[in-house]
Amino acid sequence: MAQPKELHQRDLSWLGFNQRVLEEAADSHLPLFERIKFLAIYSSNLEEFFRVRVAAIRQLLHIPSEAKSAQSLLAEISERVDQQQRFFGSVFFEEIIPALKSEGIDLMLSSELPTSCHDFVRNYFMREVLHQLQPILLVKSKVVPFLQNGALYLAVALVSRKSKVKDPSKRRLRYAMVQIPGQLPRFLSIPGQEQRHLVLFIDDVIRNGLDQLFPGYEIVASPSFKLSRDADLRIEDEFTGNLIEKLRESLIRRKTGAPSRFLFDQQMPESMLDFFRASFALDQNDMVPGGRYHNFSDFFSFPNPFAPKLERPLPPPLHVAALDAFPSMFEAIKQQDWLLSFPYQSYDYVLRFLNQAAIDPKVTEIQATQYRVASDSAVVNALISAARNGKKVTVFVELKARFDEETNLYFADRMEQAGVRIMYSVPGLKVHAKACLVTRKSRNSQGFRQYAFISTGNFNEKTARLYCDHGYFTSRADICRELGQLFVELDYWKQQSQFKKIQVARFNMVDTYRKAIKKEISAAMAGKPSGIFLKVNNLEEPGMIQALYEAADAGVPVRVMVRSICCLVPGKVQVRRLVDKFLEHARVVMFHNQGEDRVFLSSADWMTRNLYHRIELGLEIKAEPWRQQLLHMYELQWRDNRAARNLDASLNMHRIENQEPELRSQEAIYAYLKENSFSKEGDLGG
């Protein structure tokens, strides 16, 4: 057996992805507010990385056999993040702020605030802000308030105005802190400035009012800081007791989790930093220097007085004209299978399917999975409506969807109160499959017909406007029958089902892919055409990576598009990363199959957790024209020479240099679907 080949470290490879996001913020060809949004995405990504991945690595420091490698990895992460943060700062201060200024928008710092604005800012502070602030004078080892996860604070250095010491360096310093209220808008727009639009951080509004909070003191310094906490719920034993109650208890503990990053203004005086580090019992590993402002994810809400100018608006989702011609979704699906590609095409067809099922007197049963739904979920509302209309409705709710646990608990309670039968998490597993199965009375020999919807993405009408995913409608009896078996497995978990038409992780998914890879290897070794195309968010599972290495060594052309984590070392295997306006989220696997291309859609990334520790769902797309449509869409993505990047053996990213005309695949796919896939322009609101 061949020796296993080298793999990249997963967390460092992920940092490369976030670097790619940052590069979009630096792209002067993009509309200005698009660049600002990429800064917000980068910041949001990094916050989650520290709360989840860095926190997990920090836990290894307490294990003697792992401590040395964990410390080395943390040092490497710190170095790379520091480099990225410096680049972030240069983009923001040297490019974004001047570009805003040239467009008539002045993002002001407190020291730059014009005198004419002082009264407006002070009045806003007194009227809207002051009553929400709770300043705290700190006394080391005596007054040590709890730092909320992700909240913004000002650290305040004070000296008494009554001090008789003339030399400022010898005056006794007092320290205080003020939390910046999260319910306030992060940005304040200041009107009436001679055609200029002035915008101020709420941080600086509060800085300007600190003298009102600390009368009798002179404000010496007011740098900002924030603390990120470990987000891992760590449910100790899922197999005994009440999992829901354990989850609720864990959600409370998350808010008080161990520190994973203390991010502070690098201009904070050393003595002040030492005081805060000692007061909050922080480790040196916790300390991460940053800029004057934090939580740049708030830039999603940065005000644009010229909207939609300076933005790249979302294109209207496409109608599918042929699908619209049917009086109901059930009639359409009975006639043929249907592929939808979001966000290019409207998600409203999914909502129409569910809403029609809720009121159709012939529908007897609805079964569905729920992983991440919208905050005001139209999907959940349709399921509740179905239950109230007398349908038998069963929903498997995965409670352990990170950062969506509370939302899932809330909607599970709502559905249960409406009469929906709720199945909860399988102990020791996550259910990441995305599927819905509707049973409807029919005049056929069975007396019923089933209709299925299988997706690469969540049942979430809001993210469906931003995430690239595929959804597939079918009434094929063999697929629906196996999907019904999967719901039985989720209910009783006997692991006795045999799946042939659908691919289910922990059952047949890995074997299906491995057999297809071996077939491509055999073809290549026989001198026949071969090929493997893989598109995933994350590529980490060692066994599948080794299989791709083996295929490439045998002469199989292997092309991989990976958005985030890539542990595979590019070489014979070509790897590209695509980051653009929409989040690439679909998982697609294609095999040449001696000219009869096989195309699989799946909810599963190629990670150990997805392939071996979750229930994931995949489907081979055989029907035309959908198979050809997918092949064409992903050929467009591979040819993208604007938003895509080649990855070299060190995972460095390089622009794609070729002689082809410039091609941005997301724009090309939208145009292709509009012209060639039974679509017409329109907005169904999905």
DSSP labels for 72-100? HHHHHHHHHHHHHHHHHHHHIIIIIHHHH
The answer to whether residue 311 is domain-embedded is no
The domain boundary, picked from 268, 301, 334, lies at 301
Q: Residue 231 is encoded by which pair of tokens?
A: 């987000």
- Residues 291 and 322 both lie in one domain: no
Q: Which residues pair with 469 in a beta bridge?
A: 342
Q: Which residues pair with 318 in a beta bridge?
A: 345, 681
- Residues 270 and 329 both lie in one domain: no
Q: What is the pLDDT of residue 239?
A: 46
Q: What is the pLDDT of residue 679?
A: 43
Judge contact between 472 and 629, C-beta under 8 A.
no
- Residues 362 and 254 both lie in one domain: no
Judge contact between 679 and 325, C-beta under 8 A.
no
Q: What is the pLDDT of residue 683?
A: 34
- Residues 600 and 479 both lie in one domain: no
Q: Which residues pair with 438 in a beta bridge?
A: 366, 451
636: left (phi over 0), alpha (psi -120 to 50) or beta: alpha
Q: What is the pLDDT of residue 62?
A: 86
User: What is the distance between the alpha carbons of residues 124 and 222, in angstroms, rounded to a whole number?
Assistant: 20
Report, as an integer, the average pLDDT of 174-187: 94
Closest residue by Cα to residue 219 from 277, 275, 175: 175
- Report the largest interatomic distance among the alpha carbons of the chain, rounded to a whole angstrom: 98
> What are the pLDDT digits (tens) for 256-312?
677 888 999 999 999 999 999 998 888 888 898 988 999 999 999 999 999 999 999
- Residues 271 and 414 both lie in one domain: no
> What are the pLDDT digits (tens) for 496-529?
889 999 999 999 999 999 999 999 999 999 999 9
> What are the pLDDT digits (tens) for 51-62?
889 988 988 988
Asked whether residue 191 carries a pLDDT value surpassing 90, the answer given is no
Enzyme catalytic residues: 432
Q: What is the pLDDT of residue 1?
A: 42
Asked whether residue 193 carries a pLDDT value surpassing 70, the answer given is no
Asked whether residue 248 carries a pLDDT value surpassing 80, the answer given is no
- Find the CATH number of the domain harbouring 414: 3.30.870.10
> What are the pLDDT digits (tens) for 59-81?
898 899 999 999 999 999 999 99
Judge contact between 225 and 153, C-beta under 8 A.
yes
Judge contact between 523 and 632, C-beta under 8 A.
no
- Residues 121 and 176 both lie in one domain: yes
- Give the predicted TM-score (pTM) of the model: 0.90
Number of structural domains the chain divides into = 3
User: What is the distance between the alpha carbons of residues 179 and 147, in angstroms, rounded to a whole number?
Assistant: 9
- Residues 14 and 109 both lie in one domain: yes
Report, as an integer, the average pLDDT of 322-333: 96
Judge contact between 26 and 91, C-beta under 8 A.
yes
- Residues 484 and 521 both lie in one domain: no
The answer to whether residue 324 is domain-embedded is yes
The answer to whether residue 309 is domain-embedded is no
The answer to whether residue 268 is domain-embedded is yes
Q: Which residue has the tokens 């994350």?
A: 538
The domain boundary, picked from 270, 301, 332, lies at 301
The answer to whether residue 3 is domain-embedded is no
User: What is the distance between the alpha carbons of residues 123 and 58, in angstroms, rounded to a whole number?
Assistant: 45
Print the domain residue range for 393: 318-490
- Residues 518 and 486 both lie in one domain: no
Closest residue by Cα to residue 462 from 350, 544, 627: 350
- Find the CATH number of the domain harbouring 83: 3.30.1840.10
Question: Which DSSP category does 164 fall into?
Answer: -
